[in-house]
Structure 1
Amino acid sequence: MKVRDSGMPEETYWESLFDIPAILAWMNLDHRHSVAELGCGFGTFTIPIAKAIDGVVHAFDIDPVMLARTSERAASLRVECRERDVLADGFGVRADRVLLFNILHCDHPVRLLRLAAEALNLEGQIHVIHWQHRDTPRGPDLSIRPAPQQVIEWASEAGLSPVEEARELPPWHYGIKLRNRPISFSVETP
């Protein structure tokens, strides 16, 4: 799944666009968590997450160059890099956290959210980060860039609900945590 309008700039510049410690704090990872990250790129989040948890980080990308860079940076960490078209084949793993960072401007966001939901362990969460819906130094064109409310609507269509309100993640992003909606059962009594 090649995502439209998703070219990568130089690595150092790319990583300067995020407050990585603030985003990790927002994620509130437990050391026991396992993580599946779609579109790992340079390993911008893969590496600090792998250092913060005892579980495995499953890092997915379709670009062999990005996977090689992440793999090189993660040499001594519990990271499994996989070249996989998740939209076509699903994640193929289960995790406590599934990360969809700067990727929901794809052609099939609801399908991607459903596949992420299928990859969640019980009590798991999907963490979405995207460029704020305004002028930013990078990011897809505003015509395809989802605002937080759009992500929440897609999530609802995919059977997910927000864990909390969308949060601004300065300088250029926002974040939304999602979970599977609880299944309700009704039992008829005679």
Structure 2
Amino acid sequence: MTYKRFNPKNADKLMSEERKRQIQPDKIIEQLNVNNDDTVADLGAGPGLFTISLAKMTEREVYAVDIEPEMLERLKQNAEKEKIGNIKPVVSDLENVKLAENSVTRVLNVFVIHEVRSIDRAIDEMKRILKPGGCLLLMDWEAVESESGPPFEIRIPSEKMKSILEEHGFDTELTYPDSEHYAIKAKNV
């Protein structure tokens, strides 16, 4: 698999009003059913498009995990603008997440899984940090040609991703918010 990582120099694009309208982050994270008692990990948090909304939904910690310190610095600035104090930045790749075992009740991974070197290792890490009965929401680009998104050759087909999650012991529910994306809600059993 070809390895490609999003360039942090383009972080502003991830937080643009146009992107917010297209992606509707609040609508996506509704699927996680986050409540006030949930501890959440946003894996591949970037500058905080989803993290900030998640932090408003719980009084507990929201771990913003990203391999790029520059992305987390932007996230910190964005959170300060909104006076949000429960976001904890964690510089880490997704194959070795620097969080304790069973430390979160919810995991979000949106438009990032195609960037990891080992999908199996990243899924193992999601399962490791997620408490039993906890929920993962994984969303990514369907393996179809489109004008936006990552190159076709690094996209992971939805059915393949669903199978990988099931092989790692998750109960899964696959949905298609549109023709270019898929979302998999997975329960850690």
TM-score higher than 0.5: yes
The superposition leaves residues 4-25 of structure 1 with CA deviations (integer Å, 9 ceiling, x where unpaired) of: 2533642315434412232122
Aligned identity (percent) is 24
Contact 2:104/2:131 (8 A) holds in 1: yes
What amino acid is aligned across from residue 124 of structure 1 in structure 2? G
Give deviations 1:27-61, integer Å, cap 9, x for gaps.
22222111011111110000011011122100011
Q: What secondary structure, in the 3-state scheme, does the structure 1 residue paired with 2:76 have?
A: helix
**Which amino acid is the alignment partner of residue 114 of structure 1?**
D
3-state secondary structure, aligned to 1:143: helix
**Separation in structure 2 between the aligned mates of residue 35 and residue 119 of structure 1, nearest angstrom:** 10
Residues 32-181 of structure 1 mapped to structure 2, 5 A cutoff: 32-75=37-80, 76-77=83-84, 78-87=86-95, 89-93=96-100, 94-105=103-114, 106-162=116-172, 164=173, 166-170=174-178, 172-181=180-189
Moved more, 4-13 or 120-129: 4-13
Task: Judge which range, 72-81 or 172-181, deviates more.
Answer: 172-181
Q: Name the CA distance, whole Å, in 2 between partners of 1:101 and 1:35.
A: 14
Structure 1 residue 180, shift from structure 2 partner: 2.5
Post-superposition offset of 1:124:
0.5
What's the offset of the Cα at 1:152?
A: 1.1
The alignment partner of 2:47 has SS state of coil
- Asked whether the 8 Å contact 1:130–1:174 carries over to 2, the reply is yes
Give the gaps of 5 or more residues in structure 1: 182-190
Of 143-152 and 112-121, the range deviating more from structure 2: 143-152
Spell out the pairing of 1:7-46 with structure 2 (5 A cutoff).
Answer: 7=7, 9=10, 10=13, 11-12=15-16, 13-46=18-51
Q: Is the 8 A contact 1:152 1:161 kept in 2?
A: no
1:108 to 1:128, Cα distance in 2 relative to 1, 3 A: same
- Secondary structure of the corresponding residue to residue 74 of structure 1: helix
Shift of 1:129: 0.7
